[in-house]
Amino acid sequence: MPPTPRRPRSLSRLEFQSPADGAWHDARVAVQRGALRVMYEEFPEEQDEWYDPAALASSASAARDVAALRTRFRAASPPLEDARCRDLRAGAPLCVSCPLDGGLLLKFYDAVLESVRPLSDPRSLAHDDASSGWC
């Protein structure tokens, strides 16, 4: 059984890309004890990440390290509502979920829509095909 999350979800509109798995997670950010603290929503406190500004600034590649850290933050991805399905076009950037552990855990990754094909009957789509989806 997964550990109990330490805090409920907030209204955070920030996502952070985990260096451990490359997935995007809702997060909060705070400056505590002189360091930047990234707190993953609904994860135990042990999963928080700490970044020391002095260590980042003193490295030989400081500008590159700070720029790389900044790219791991973004505004939260809006959910795809059913009404928007007809507006999807090939090449559209998406944030898609990937179920793990038998569906008990969802991770979110960036994707680019390769193609769009209309379905006359969505029930005809094989639901066990993890690479396809419909709305």
What are the angstrom distances between the C-alpha of 31 and each of 34, 50, 78, 107, 127?
Answer: 6, 9, 26, 26, 45
Task: Please give the DSSP secondary-structure letter assigned to residue 120.
Answer: S
Q: In this predicted model, what pLDDT tens digit does every residue of 85-113 receive, in sequence order?
A: 778 888 888 888 888 878 777 888 888 88
Q: In this predicted model, what pLDDT tens digit does every residue of 63-93 receive, in sequence order?
A: 888 889 999 999 888 777 777 777 888 888 8
Q: Which pLDDT belongs to residue 130?
A: 46
12: region left, alpha or beta (phi > 0 left; psi from -120 to 50 alpha): beta
Task: Please give the DSSP secondary-structure letter assigned to residue 82.
Answer: G
> What are the structural domains, with CATH classification, of the chain?
14-75 (2.40.50), 82-124 (no CATH)
Average pLDDT, the chain: 79
What is the pTM for the complete model shown?
0.67
- In terms of Cα–Cα distance, which of 65, 56, 23, 53 is closest to 41? 23
Instruction: Grade residue 37 by pLDDT with cuts at 50, 70 and 90.
Output: very high
Measured CA to CA, the distance from residue 86 to residue 101 in angstroms comes to 32
Cα dihedral angle (21, 130, 4, 48), rounded to 10 degrees? 20
